[in-house]
Every structure is written in C-alpha cells, then in structure tokens.
A = this chain, B = another copy of it.
Amino acid sequence: MQEFTVTPWEVSGQVDYNKLIRQFGTTRIDGALRERMVRLCGGDEPHHMLRRDFFFSHRDLNLVLDDYEKGKGFFLYTGRGPSKAMHIGHLVPLIFTRWLQDKFKCNLYLEVTDDEKFLYRREYDWKEVQKYTGDNILDIIAVGFDPDRTFIFKDSEYVKNVYPLLMRTARKITGSTVKAVFGFDDSTNIGMSFYPAYQAIPTFFEKKRCLIPAAIDQDPYWRVQRDIAEGMGFQKTAAIHSKFLPPLQGISGKMSSSAGQETAILLTDDEKTVKNKINKYAFSGGQATVEEHRRLGGNPDIDVPYQWLDILFEPSDAKMKQIHDDYKAGKLLTGELKSILIDKVNGFLKEHNTARKKAEKTMEQFMYKGKLAKSMWERTYE
C-alpha cells in the first residue's frame, strides 16, 4: 500500500479513500443516502459528482436531510483560501455547492480566508493576498450562486461582526487540540494556531444545521467544530466530502497551482495552452502505440483525461459509458480521448470567463448589498 498524506495544507501520494474514511472517522455515502437526496430534491438526478462517488463521504448528512424533511431547513457553508492562480480543481466543490443551493434553495456562506493564506504563506505581503482575494471572488461568483441567498466575505473585512463569537470560540480550543488535529508545534506562529477558530465561525451563522461541501482535507476543522459546538449552544456541523481532482500527471496528490503550471489547468489558460498542456502532460491509461492500443485497449481508471471527464466535464452517464467502453475496447485512442477533454475544457473555460466578466457587476451584491449579504452586515455575532 502506497503511503499518502492528507492535511489542509498538503495532499500527496495516492489517496486510499476507504482508509481515509476510517482515519478521519467519517461515513461513506451509500446508495440509500444518495437516493434519499434524489427524492428530497424533487426526483431530479443527483449531480454527477454525487452519482459517481466523487462526493463520497459525509458527517451527519442524514440529519441534514431529516431537518429538511421536517421543514427546519439547513444552510450551506464553504470557503476558499485565495490563491495566485485558480485552477479548475478549485471550482469542483463550488460547482457542487451551487447544485445543492439550486436544489434545496438554501443560504450559502462563503468564507474567503485571506488571513489564513497570509499567515501560512509568509512570502506574501498583505496587498498581494488582497489582489488574489479579489480575483478569486470573481471566479467564485462566476460559478453561478444565488445573489440573494449567498454571502461571500473576506475574513479581514467581516472580522468586526464576528469578533465576540470568535473570542468565545477561541476560548474553547486549547493549544493541545490544534497540535493534535493540525499537526502544529511550538514553532507554529500564533496566528496559524488561532485561525481554526475563525474557520468554525460560519457554522454558527444560523440556528439551523450547517452543511459543508468541501474536499475531505478540510475535515479536521469540522472535527474541532463538532467537539465544541454543543457546549457553546450550537449544533454540530454536517459535512459532505469530495475526493481530489487528480493533477495532469497522474492520479496521486491533488491539483496544485503552486506546484508548477504543468500539473493544472488554470482558469486563465487560453485554448492553445489548454490543448498543449493536456496533450503534453495529461497522464494516459492508453497503450504505447496505436496498434497496441487497438489490441489491448486503455485503462480508464488511471487515465487522467478520462477521470476529469468523469468528475467534472461530462455529466451524461450514457456518454461516459460509451467513452469508457470504447476506450477499454481500444476503439477510442488516447489522442481522441484527449481531444474530447480539450474541447470540453475550452468550452467550460469560455463559459466561465464570460460569467466572470459579468461577476464584476454582481460582486457588490454577493458581498454587501444582496438580501443575505445586507442582513449579515447589519448583525454582530456574540
């Protein structure tokens, strides 16, 4: 068994997701739970990320659905650590979150953690982080959330409204806890050690239960929240966890924009760059020669273009099955598979960047003036 590491700051090795579920103490999403979600959101097909087991694990999702059925409702919370260059992997949890908001018509709080990024990346100055933050928020908005049911906030800006609650939360968390949960030690700066308190705050924004869609590397934060929430008079947060979008080079680790541009498709890549990157770097499960491929077929399980289509770009199960079967049978060549992906990615980016352009106009609404945002600026949390 290959070794792997999953922390909020590092994902490396080929992740054994079953092992991770045991390590983290989360629960697998099974067929019954998936079917229950389908039923509750009006019988529509569940999002392909859920259908195809990409969102694969949860905490208390069943309780969230109970609350929904009883008419109590729930709310969504996810976040983003602003980065210099966003890549398509960063959009994965956001796309799924949008789907949840669409289906369940609920409020969404989106925390942009400019403070944590600044504390962790000591080479950045504050202005740099703020620039990335503004850029990233446009990409987030482009995903298509409901402007009256979504509040996007920067930690540094909203801090005054949550400061009393932040202190109340911090008072409940010891140094031992953050050492044990996050692997901090005495050389960790006091900002980093303090920060986990802030990441818990949005789970307390409503009296309803909170559901957090995010990659599973963020789960340690939710464990801390779940340890302290009830003692503070709140509910334990629920979570729904995704796997990681594999980097171009192969299905271990996760896509990273800081690890070198050849691992990721950036949201700013043009058509030619996308084509070149995929053709040059995307790890293929195909055979070395066309002849061999025709004879032996490809292996979709380790083929990055296939995985990306499956996870992100091809919602049709029928089409995926066709691709899968053709690829395995050697009818579909590596170059052809890559070409399908290139078209999909370029189509996706074109649409994304059109939406991003429009986001400049709606940013104000998501952050300050929309129905939810406005009400959030009018209150203080104690």
Q: Which of A's residues lie within 8 Å of B, judged by CB?
A: 115, 118-119, 122, 126-127, 156-157, 159-160, 163-164, 167-168, 170-179, 184-191, 193-194, 196-197, 382
Are A167 and B190 interface neighbours, CB within 8 A? no
Known A119-B167, A170-B194, A178-B190; 16 more pairs at CB < 8 Å: A119-B170, A126-B164, A126-B168, A156-B163, A157-B160, A159-B159, A167-B191, A174-B189, A175-B175, A175-B189, A175-B193, A190-B193, A190-B194, A191-B197, A193-B194, A194-B194
Q: How far is the CA of A271 from the CA of B167 in the complex (A)?
A: 39
Are A190 and B163 interface neighbours, CB within 8 A? no
Which residue, of A127, A173, A190, A194, has the highest number of chain B Cβ atoms within 10 A? A190
User: Quick one: copies of this chain in the complex?
Assistant: 2
Q: Inside 8 A of A157's CB, which chain B residues have their CB?
A: 160
Q: A157-B160, A186-B179 are in contact. Are A167 and B126 (CB under 8 A)?
A: yes
Which listed residue, B122, B126, B156, B185, touches A175 by the CB 8 Å rule?
B185
Which listed residue, B122, B159, B164, B196, touches A190 by the CB 8 Å rule?
B196
Q: Inside 8 A of A179's CB, which chain B residues have their CB?
A: 186
Q: A382-B126, A382-B127 are in contact. Are A189 and B160 (CB under 8 A)?
A: no
Are A190 and B175 interface neighbours, CB within 8 A? yes
Per DSSP, chain A at the interface is helix
Which listed residue, B118, B127, B174, touches A186 by the CB 8 Å rule?
B174
Q: How far is the CA of A186 from the CA of B119 in the complex (A)?
A: 21
Smallest Cβ-Cβ distance to A118: which chain B residue? B167
Q: Inside 8 A of A122's CB, which chain B residues have their CB?
A: 171
Q: How far is the CA of A188 from the CA of B190 in the complex (A)?
A: 12
Are A193 and B193 interface neighbours, CB within 8 A? yes
Q: How far is the CA of A160 from the CA of B184 in the complex (A)?
A: 27
Q: How far is the CA of A220 from the CA of B67 in the complex (A)?
A: 51
Q: Inside 8 A of A185's CB, which chain B residues have their CB?
A: 175
Q: A170-B119, A194-B194 are in contact. Are A175 and B188 (CB under 8 A)?
A: yes
Question: What would 6 A/B residue contacts be, using CB atoms closer than 8 Å?
Answer: A118-B171, A119-B167, A156-B160, A159-B163, A171-B189, A175-B185
In the complex, what's the smallest C-beta–C-beta distance from A168 to chain B, in angstroms? Answer: 7
Are B176 and A187 interface neighbours, CB within 8 A? yes
In the complex, what's the smallest C-beta–C-beta distance from A370 to chain B, in angstroms? Answer: 21
In the complex, what's the smallest C-beta–C-beta distance from A179 to chain B, in angstroms? Answer: 6
Smallest Cβ-Cβ distance to A178: which chain B residue? B190
Q: How far is the CA of A119 from the CA of B172 in the complex (A)?
A: 9
